[in-house]
Structure 1
Amino acid sequence: MADAQISPFEKNNKVTTTYKELIDFYALLDQKYDQMRILDYGLSDIGKPINLIILSRDKVFDPEIIRKQNKRILLINNGIHPGEPEGIDASMMMVRDLLEKNSIPDDLVICIIPVYNIDGMLNRGLSRVNQNGPEVYGFRGNYQNLDLNRDFIKGDSKNSRVFQKIFSDWQPEVFIDNHTSNGADYQYVITLIPTQKDKLNPILSSYLTGKMLPALYKKMKGSGFEMTPYVNSILETPDSGITGFLESPRYSTGFAALHNTIGFMPETHMLKPYDQRVKSTYLFMEHVISTVQQDADLIGKNKRKADAAVKDQKSFPLNWSLDENTFSMFSFKGYEAKHKTSDVSGLPRLYYDRNAPFEKDIKVFDNYVPSLFVNKSLAYIIPQSWQKVIDLFELNGIQMRRLKSDTTVDAEMYYIEDYKTVSGPYEGHYLHSQVKLRAENQEVKFFEGDYIVFTDQVKNRYIIETLEPQATDSFFAWNFFDSVLGQKEHFSDYVFEDDAALLLNQDAELAKRFKEEKGKNPALSGSAESQLNWVYRNSKYYEITHRRYPVGRLIAPIKLDLK
């Protein structure tokens, strides 16, 4: 076993490690070095433990103590898509090298999830038909066939809930999630998606764009792996310009941004040789470590300032749109896009001519502007019946209190006036969007044990972007509250006819509104059933809870008896 600490990739740079080889590799390192610890954080959907590797120079492995020591924490996630395994192999070598060279930084603790989607890693095959190696690799979906990089808010998988626990415990200042890209062909081995700068807290965004990103681009170029921003072409090819990726909270780096964590998603290029992709991933992680080490004090101060700002922030952007009038220029190294006759269809097809490389300035559209704001409430009241919400809040370290007794509260309640839903399931859900709300102040009875969430917390962004129904990745958007959309009580036409007539005779204002509505709505005036339904929905008999979002908003201070 003289070569026990040589990874399978180093023995053959066309292969990626198996799950057993991965676990055995880290177990041997753990036996040998006391600056490393392996924690089991919980089971994945396939029943295997998700590990967290911790590298700490002074052998302190308690996140609370580490934060008190004013050390930075870097979290690296690998194998969320196991068919993109560069990070898995690169991290094995990097951990070994840091330990063998005794080069773990003094002021930085490195946490690594060796493989997050264990389920997909065990499902080895050749599913990524466009990818240039390795020889065999894992599958994108997990054991529930979920794409885990869409599961960070809804938390359908055990994997996601374990990740959220890790993130909450360790509260990293910087996060890396290693990937492989699809799409156009170009000269770069590695591309980069940083946290979208306009969505990130301004204090962190200023450091990210002004100092951290320029340093990483310079270091990668000096290492022989020049980077480009992630190539998301506006039209068919990159020549048309590229747009910045808007990662909403369902994605790993979007989730990290809710917690004021700077995130990076390196995407190596699928068509480049596997060994180059692994090496570039290794170097990127190495350069992030050196940059965080160099700026450790500044990064810590920025994170504390950002947390304080979010705690006091009054107005929050919920949705974003691309500014199509603002762009920067980037000197892009690509290949000429051409067309030829397809051998399959006989029709014109696109291809990139690697014998015709070019370098030209292209437009990069990476400015996003808020399209919707909401003013935070003083607190939210969550009925205890919505247990999945409570569970996810607890996982994310949200501070909550509970009512000591049944209490009638003057709260602002939302009604869901309209929304759009996808025609087919997306990641197991019929995702809602374009949510239109009506707010109404009501006296609402809440019960002993219901939860109060005050918005004076550093995690306000997570609270607001999950509980405000109109947010892109709110719990409402992900169908947590769909049962309130269903009407539970109805009427019998022939019985309600007399009641409806009596209501109109007794309420002149109701009768006036009824007449006006019929006058401007021909469909209503021509349907007896619709007219009865209109009277019913505007009467005292209509259920007040139909389409009422159950989470209350406290707008004015109120004395509550809380546990």
Structure 2
Amino acid sequence: MKRLLPAIFLCAALNGFAQQTPFEKSGKTATATYAEAIQHYRNLSENYPQARLLDYGMTDFGKPLQLLVLSKDKVFDPVLLRKSNKRILLINNGIHPGEPEGIDACMMLARDLLQKKQLPQDVVICIIPIYNIDGAFNRSGTSRANQEGPVAYGFRGNSKNYDLNRDFIKTDSRNSAAFQQIFNIWQPEIFVDTHTSNGADYSYTMTLIPTQKDKLQSELSNYLTETMVPSLYDKMKIKGYEMTPYVNSVEETPDQGITGFLESPRYSTGYTTLHNTIGFMPETHMLKAYDKRVDATYKLLQSYIDIVQRDAKLIGENKKKADAAVALQQEFPIIWTLDKTKESSIVFKGYTAKYKPSEVSGLPRLYYDRAAPYTKEIKYWNTFAPSLTVQKPIAYIIPQAWTKVIELLKLNRVKIQQLAKDTTIPVEMYQISDYKTSTRPYEGHYIHNAVQINPIKQDLLFYAGDYVVYVNQPVNRYIVETLEPQAMDSFFNWNFFDSILGMKEHFSAYVFEDTAAELLKNDPTLKAKLEQEKLAKPELLKNAEAQLDFIYKNSVYYEKTYLRYPIGRLQVAQQLNLK
């Protein structure tokens, strides 16, 4: 027996080392590769019945997006878990693989929770090991020029060079579709997306972006601001990592104040807000040592688990109330702006900003003097007010030709029905009267903004198979904020409907001259409108083409679908023949 003891201890030691992560084995200087991360989770899944590694949809890189689920009761069916009143905490890592703290922290955290038998009773923890698998393979130690470590890491863009944290509405990547599949199957109450910051230098290792409080449903917002965020700050301070809000400076340095971050639905936490999920984007500071950044992330994730377990019942009740309220909500904000009149202050621990001659240009350059730290109050603006709201219709009617729109609505748990036969329906249609378009591409799109609409009531023929989406659902915000063209990240603004912005027919002036003359002769109202237009715009008197164009656009020959947003708004309840 005595001879066996050393062998047993040796095996135990080797087994413990085998469960160490690449980060730990490297002396806390390296981050795991994709293969190492997946193998780590596969080992956990094979050795612990409370862990399971699941495959979901394919990414642009040809590999499935994977999810590690930690369930103390060994139940891995999200429907059963919801029935048993479990909370779901979803942690997303590596959306920007050059910001890998969450990758390494979650590997250790999952192992420790399993080894030490510390899984929470009422919380199921779901971890996406690396979301941007594509970028994780594009590995170097130089793409993050302003960052201290690790020795090598992945790249921000994916295989299509998309920043995936701008892709949650347009869904140009298969990664985004796979994420939305995971999100809508598991329906987490709390979501955390781990990141590393850029920007000013200051003393904090961890900064925090919660879901923007004024965009979140009120029941959830109250809990977030009054309970959850203060608890996170308190716990992290006790653990040695005092936090501050994400440093979004109004000027070059934080000294003049910082603002909250308005995450529109293109971002992960903006997307989760549309589903009444409280989201967080923790951002460690790029200039702090990598081991400290990982440790801070580990301790923050621990804090989330503790708080969600502590408040499990309340979080569940709040989510149900929020879903019920949104299903009945009539008016929806679709654009928000920062209210600079609502100012508060926070205590901020920074480094004094100074200037000295640049060794490159000889001109003054900014630097932060770490030998001159300060603690002082700075201004903080974190109130966003709705600047545009809409009344929801009873339903949206979507022609079946717009397949990507339908696919995304279905992916996001929107209940959709179809017309059983061709039907003429009185609807409100939007005529796009003006819009601006970016002059340079952004994430593969020339996105629109400042959209102006002219609502017109029309009786339109819709066809068997066209889709009807009633706006009486818990996911109403996703419905409204994607289908209303003026919304910040609407499908319209992301170019889903650009084909309506171009005319398909026009006229040849020499032929239409005779037609126009006949129209004026037979339609006194049209003739009067033209005369009024000439009075209002005297330049028309010398522009024959413009006068013809005015007549054309006010005649039966004008293309009715030009600039007409193709989705109808059902305003008056009526019985529709549905499949």
TM bin, normalised by shorter chain, reads over 0.9
Deviations 1:338-383 (A, max 9, x none): 0000001110000000000000000110000000000000000011
**CA positional deviation for 1:528:** 1.1
Higher mean C-alpha deviation, range 507-516 or range 113-122: 507-516
Confirm or deny that 1:449 pairs with 2:451.
no
Confirm or deny that 1:21 pairs with 2:36.
yes
**CA positional deviation for 1:525:** 2.7
Deviations 1:452-481 (A, max 9, x none): 000110000000000000000000000000
The partner residue of 1:189 within 202, 205, 210 is 205
The partner residue of 1:96 within 79, 99, 111 is 111
The partner residue of 1:106 within 99, 121, 133 is 121
Q: Counterparts in 2 of 1:280-359, with a 5 A limit?
A: 280-359=296-375
**CA positional deviation for 1:506:** 1.4
Alignment correspondent of 2:66 = 51
Give the SS at the match of 1:82: coil
Contact 2:166 2:443 in 1 (8 A): yes
Q: Counterparts in 2 of 1:454-493, with a 5 A limit?
A: 454-493=470-509
Confirm or deny that 1:418 pairs with 2:446.
no
Contact 2:31 2:150 in 1 (8 A): yes
Q: Counterparts in 2 of 1:234-273, with a 5 A limit?
A: 234-273=250-289
**For the residues of structure 2 that align with 1:502 and 1:348, how far apart are their CA atoms?**
72
**CA positional deviation for 1:522:** 3.5
Q: Counterparts in 2 of 1:222-237, with a 5 A limit?
A: 222-237=238-253
Deviations 1:87-135 (A, max 9, x none): 0000000000010011111100010100000000000012000000001
Confirm or deny that 1:86 pairs with 2:101.
yes
Confirm or deny that 1:430 pairs with 2:450.
no
Alignment correspondent of 1:151 = 167
Confirm or deny that 1:75 pairs with 2:90.
yes
Deviations 1:220-253 (A, max 9, x none): 0000000000000001110100000000000000
The one-letter code sitting in structure 1 at the alignment partner of 2:50 is Q
The partner residue of 1:8 within 22, 36, 41 is 22
Alignment correspondent of 1:277 = 293
Contact 2:431 2:453 in 1 (8 A): yes
**Cα RMSD between the aligned structures?**
0.7
The partner residue of 1:115 within 110, 121, 130 is 130
Contact 1:322 1:368 in 2 (8 A): yes
Deviations 1:121-167 (A, max 9, x none): 00001200000000110000000000000000011100000001111
**CA positional deviation for 1:524:** 2.7
The partner residue of 2:157 within 141, 155, 165 is 141
Alignment correspondent of 1:64 = 79
**For the residues of structure 2 that align with 1:352 and 1:248, how far apart are their CA atoms?**
31
Q: Counterparts in 2 of 1:329-408, with a 5 A limit?
A: 329-408=345-424
Contact 2:206 2:244 in 1 (8 A): yes
Give the SS at the match of 1:266: strand
Contact 1:500 1:532 in 2 (8 A): yes
The one-letter code sitting in structure 1 at the alignment partner of 2:480 is I
Give the SS at the match of 1:316: strand
After TM superposition, the score normalised by the length of structure 1 is 0.99
Contact 1:420 1:435 in 2 (8 A): yes
Contact 1:381 1:553 in 2 (8 A): yes
**CA positional deviation for 1:16:** 0.5
Confirm or deny that 1:522 pairs with 2:538.
yes
**CA positional deviation for 1:30:** 1.0
**Gaps spanning 5+ residues in structure 2: where?**
1-13
**For the residues of structure 1 that align with 2:268 and 2:93, how far apart are their CA atoms?**
11
Contact 2:57 2:181 in 1 (8 A): no
**For the residues of structure 1 that align with 2:394 and 2:362, how far apart are their CA atoms?**
64
After TM superposition, the score normalised by the length of structure 2 is 0.97
Give the SS at the match of 2:472: coil
The one-letter code sitting in structure 2 at the alignment partner of 1:231 is V
**For the residues of structure 2 that align with 1:50 and 1:376, how far apart are their CA atoms?**
35
Give the SS at the match of 1:267: strand
**CA positional deviation for 1:505:** 1.6
**CA positional deviation for 1:327:** 1.5
**CA positional deviation for 1:183:** 0.2
**CA positional deviation for 1:85:** 0.3
Contact 1:519 1:525 in 2 (8 A): no
Contact 1:4 1:25 in 2 (8 A): no
Alignment correspondent of 2:11 = none
**Gaps spanning 5+ residues in structure 1: where?**
none
**For the residues of structure 2 that align with 1:523 and 1:118, how far apart are their CA atoms?**
59
**CA positional deviation for 1:202:** 0.5
**For the residues of structure 2 that align with 1:271 and 1:479, how far apart are their CA atoms?**
38
The one-letter code sitting in structure 1 at the alignment partner of 2:310 is Q
Task: Check 1:290–1:442 CA distance in 2 against 1; reply closer, same or farther (3 A cut).
Answer: same
Q: Which runs of 4+ in 1 moved over 3 A?
A: none
Deviations 1:389-438 (A, max 9, x none): 01101111100000111111111111100000000110001100000000
**CA positional deviation for 1:191:** 0.3
**CA positional deviation for 1:497:** 0.2
Contact 2:398 2:468 in 1 (8 A): yes
Deviations 1:161-184 (A, max 9, x none): 000111110110000000000000
Alignment correspondent of 1:497 = 513
How many residue pairs are counted as aligned between the two chains?
A: 563
**CA positional deviation for 1:530:** 1.2
**CA positional deviation for 1:562:** 0.4
**For the residues of structure 1 that align with 2:557 and 2:494, how far apart are their CA atoms?**
30
**For the residues of structure 1 that align with 2:91 and 2:539, how far apart are their CA atoms?**
58
The one-letter code sitting in structure 2 at the alignment partner of 1:170 is W
**For the residues of structure 1 that align with 2:150 and 2:534, how far apart are their CA atoms?**
67
**For the residues of structure 1 that align with 2:123 and 2:175, how far apart are their CA atoms?**
26
Alignment correspondent of 2:185 = 169
**For the residues of structure 2 that align with 1:470 and 1:49, how far apart are their CA atoms?**
35
